[in-house]
Structures are given as structure tokens and as C-alpha cells.
Amino acid sequence: MQQIAWQRELLRIIFIVATATAAGMTFERPLLGALIGLAVSQILMFKRLNELFKWSNNLGPAPQDSGLVGYSADILIRKERVLNKKIARQTKQLKRIAEGIESLQDGVLIVDQAGYMNAFNRASCHLLGLRVDTDKGQHITNLIRAPRFVKYFEKGDYSEVLELESPHRLNLIVQVQVTQFGIDQKVIIVRDVTERQRVEQMRQNFIGDVSHELRTPLTVVNGYLEMLADSDMNPGIMRAVRQMSEQTERMKSLVNDLLHLSKLESNNAGIGNEWFEFQPLCAVSVDQLRAYTPVSLTGEKFPEAVIHCDCASDIEILGFADEISSILSNLITNAIKYGRKEGKAAQVHISIKDHNHGIEIAVADQGEGIAPNHLAHLTERFYRVDESRESTIGGSGLGLAIVRHALEHHDAQLKIDSTLGRGSCFSFTIPAERIRYKSQ
Ligand code: ADP
């Protein structure tokens, strides 16, 4: 096809030049005739090029020509048709995707890198009170002004989701998740989690109420058992009373831990506004636990643990002193309980050191250690590594769950390093924003 177009173009020029040369020969001026022929074929070519130019600018019809210009126009027309079909198909797909996003129950917002709103769907209006006519182009923090959201958005670390009250409707809790999209856009997904929060609240209240209600009968039973233990009875009954009394003690500590955990779970009191010194707090926890010797169910007393405390530091922490104290007590108690090896006294080492992003506090022991497959589950409620071993020591299985929640209130996470046969180290880093030095 392309070859034919070339041939036609050449034949046309040759025909015009030959005719003009023949006409020139009749006047005995063949060269002049050939030149005139060339000029005419050039003018015709310009005319066709002009038609092509006008057509390409939508100023006229496509050139009707059997030569190169017509051939090129045909190719362009065919390509345009294919492209138009593709565009129509993609426009349809885009429309369907846009309709899908519009029909979502979750809010979807697209903002640019700086946070200015490019687009949002109808659910965003319902969940956040956005208005189609005025809010496009606004900065996201002008529309969701909650300080927690502003901090979350500006920090740029979106590995976790954020839950907050909707700025639009009272009692509506929304979960916000930001995802980086391409190099210069962010997608914000907003989900209604009110119902889930309500059920979670009910669960927490239920556990809190039941634990609270169990406290009084347990105290009464314990009181009577103590009275019986003081009386004169035969040794068989005495042993039974002692065991009952130990079990009620365990139940009391379980109920207390449940109450503590449910209080921590429902406490979203922000960052805490109290600066407190770390060293005296740590010293009190250590002193209280120095004399702590776990007792097995068979009445066997473990040797007293040796506690080394390298906590000389003048740091102050912003947060909740009672929660940090509870974290330390739980970790030290565990190190005393599980840090023994071959019947020897547990060696507990508490340390504090500067870390890249804050202050790292660690409680280490040289006990039997924990197998790697357990590590990820240790902070789950009631998780125990070895039921038979721990039931003789008597833990509630809630200690590390309490530690995890209390650490969350201080923007910190529990890190557990453990090697079987060599011991474990439980550590956490209090971020630099929550630390100041008393001496400065
Ligand atoms: P518990 O009240 O039973 O001690 P925790 O939540 O404090 O419950 O701990 C969960 C489990 O983690 C424990 O039952 C124990 O198996 C394991 N564990 C905790 N601390 C240590 C430690 N220092 N060394 C070995 N195992 C530990």
C-alpha cells in the first residue's frame, strides 16, 4: 500500500513533467517545458499539503488523494478511530470506578501531597460533613480539625489507623486510614466504627462490672478462710483450708488485674499531663519487690531474687506515673517468677539507656527463656507459655496485656528478646517528646 502510494506520487510527477516537456518541444523549448511541469507538480503538492494541514487543524475535510498525502491521511484516520474507541472504553471504565467509589459506605478522599483536597465521595459528606460545592481545594486539616488527626496527618507515619469522633455528627466514631498514592497524592479512607466501639465498650464494661461484683464475695470468703486457718483443726482440713485460701488469693489478684486492664482499655485520656521523675518511681517498684518470693502450689518457696538496678538518671517522663509503675512491677515480677534456672535465685537486671528516638528501659533475666513461637502471643490476655509450669507459680496471664496497654498510652511498644536457656529481656522506648532532663 505504502509502495503503491509512492509509485503513484512519482508517476504523477513524471506524467506532468513529461507532458510539459512534450508541449515545450513543440515550441522547441523542452527544458522550459520540463521546468514548468516541475513547478506545476510542486504547486499541486502544496495544494494537497495545505488540505492536509487544514484537516489536521479541523478546518476542512480530509484530503481525497491517491498519493502520499491521501495515504498518510488514511493512516491517521484509522489511528484516530482506534484511539477514540480506546478512550471511550477507558472513559466507561473510569465512570464505573467513579460510580463504585461513590456508592461505597466508606468515605474516600484524595488529597495532594500538601493535604489539599482533590476529590471525595458522597459518604465523606455524610461521615465528615464535607460540602461538594465549597470544600474541594480546601486543606484537609481545615475540615478535620481534631488535634489528634492534625498530628497524625502531619507526622506522615500512617502505619496505624486513627479513631476519632466525627467533626460532623455527635457520637459518630470514625476510623481514618491514610495511604500514600503515587508520588504526590494521598488517599484517606474514613470508616464508621461506632457500632464496633459500642460493642467493645459493652465488653469492657461487662468485664469491669463482673470483676467489681466478684470482689466483695471473694473478700468475705477469704476472711472466713483466714479465720479458719487460725483455729485448731486436724492437719488434713488445715491443708485444704490453706489451699482454698491460696486459690482465693489468686482469684483476688485475677479480679484486680481484670479491673486494672479494663480501666486501662477505657482510658483514652490523651498524653497525660503529668511530668514525673523516673528514678524514684523505679526505686519504689524495686524495693517493693525485693522481698517478693513466689510460692508454688505445693507450698515450696523460691529463693529470693537478686535485683540489680542501673537506673541512675535524672529524666522526667510525661505520662501516667501509676501506669509506668505498673509496667515496671509486672515486668520485674515476671523476671522474678520466670527468671530462675535450675532452682537457683533469679538474677534480674533493670537498666535505662539513651536510644535513637528516646529512652530505652529494659528488664532482663537469665532464666529458661521463651521459645520464638510464643513471643508474638505473650501480650494476649491469658496467654501462658507453659500451663503446667505457670499454674504452679500462679500468674493471671494478664500482666503483659496490662503492660502493652499502659505502654500504648505512652506511645511505646513492648519489645521482647529471648533465647532458650539464656534468658529474656523485656524492653520499651519512651519517645523523646515525652522525655526531659531535670538538670536542664
Ligand atoms: P502471668 O500473670 O501468667 O505471669 P503475663 O502476661 O505476665 O502473665 O505473662 C504471660 C506469660 O509470658 C507467662 O505466663 C510466662 O509464660 C511468659 N513470661 C513472661 N515473662 C517471662 C520471663 N521473664 N521469662 C520467661 N517467660 C516469661
Least trusted range by pLDDT, from 28-32, 152-156, 185-189, 387-391: 387-391
Pocket test for ligand 1, best of 302, 387, 400, 415 (most atoms within 8 A of CB): 400
pLDDT in tens, 25-49: 999 899 999 999 999 999 999 999 9
Alpha-carbon gap, residue 395 to 250, rounded angstroms: 8
Pocket test for ligand 1, best of 256, 297, 338 (most atoms within 8 A of CB): 338
pLDDT in tens, 267-323: 665 556 789 999 999 999 999 998 888 876 666 777 888 999 988 888 999 999 999
DSSP alpha helix (H) spans, 267-343: 278-290, 321-338
Alpha-carbon gap, residue 212 to 361, rounded angstroms: 33
Alpha-carbon gap, residue 78 to 231, rounded angstroms: 107
pLDDT in tens, 83-126: 999 999 999 999 999 999 999 999 999 999 999 999 999 999 99
Cell 485475677 locates to: 254
Let me know if domain 195-266 sits in CATH 3.30.1360.120.
Answer: no
The whole-number average pLDDT for the span 411-430 is: 94
Grid coordinates of 45: 503538492
Nearest ligand 1 atom, CA 257: 2
**Domain ranges across the chain:** 2-97, 104-192, 195-266, 271-437
CB atoms within 10 A of CB 229: 13
Centre of ligand 1 to C-alpha 330, Å, is 9
Record: fold of 104-192: Beta-Lactamase (3.30.450)
Strand 347-355 versus strand 315-319 pairing type: unpaired
Pocket test for ligand 1, best of 264, 328, 350, 384 (most atoms within 8 A of CB): 384
The predicted pLDDT at position 378 comes to: 94
For the purposes of burial, counting CB atoms within 10 Å of the CB of 3, is it exposed (0-12), middle (13-18) or buried (19 or more)? exposed
301: DSSP letter: B
Ligand 1 shell residues, CB under 6 Å: 330, 334-335, 338-339, 365, 367, 370, 378, 383-385, 390, 395-401, 424
What is the end-to-end Cα distance of the chain in Å, rounded? Answer: 87
Centre of ligand 1 to C-alpha 283, Å, is 22
Q: In the CATH scheme, what is the code of domain 271-437? A: 3.30.565.10
pLDDT at 402 exceeding the cut of 90 = yes
**What's the half-sphere exposure (Cβ side, CA atoms, 13 Å) at 276?**
15
Strand 415-419 versus strand 435-437 pairing type: unpaired
Centre of ligand 1 to C-alpha 297, Å, is 17
Grid coordinates of 29: 523549448
Alpha-carbon gap, residue 336 to 173, rounded angstroms: 42
Centre of ligand 1 to C-alpha 294, Å, is 13
Strand 274-277 versus strand 415-419 pairing type: unpaired
Say if CB 66 and CB 2 are below 8 A apart. Answer: no
The predicted pLDDT at position 297 comes to: 60
Alpha-carbon gap, residue 36 to 43, rounded angstroms: 10
| Angle between the N-to-C axes of helices 235-266 and 399-408, in degrees from 0 to 180, rounded to the nearest 10 | 20
Centre of ligand 1 to C-alpha 271, Å, is 28
Closest C-alpha to ligand 1, atom 23: 335
Centre of ligand 1 to C-alpha 390, Å, is 8
Centre of ligand 1 to C-alpha 241, Å, is 28
Determine phi and psi for 81, rounding to 5 degrees.
-60, -45
The whole-number average pLDDT for the span 346-371 is: 92
**Nearest alpha carbon to residue 350 among 282, 434, 435:** 282
Q: Three-state SS for 66?
A: coil
Strand 347-355 versus strand 306-310 pairing type: parallel
Grid coordinates of 415: 519489645
The whole-number average pLDDT for the span 56-66 is: 86
Closest C-alpha to ligand 1, atom 24: 338
Centre of ligand 1 to C-alpha 221, Å, is 28
The whole-number average pLDDT for the span 261-269 is: 75
| H or E element at residue 108 | strand 107-112
Say if CB 229 and CB 238 are below 8 A apart. Answer: yes
Q: Length of the chain in residues, anyone? A: 440
61: DSSP letter: P
Q: Show Cβ contacts of residue 178 under 8 Å, excluding neighbours closer than 6 positions.
A: 152, 153, 158, 186, 187, 188
Buried b (16+ CB within 10 A) or exposed e, 165-191: ebbbeeebbbbbebeeeeeeebebbbb
Band of residue 425 on the pLDDT scale cut at 50, 70, 90: very high
Say if CB 37 and CB 21 are below 8 A apart. Answer: yes
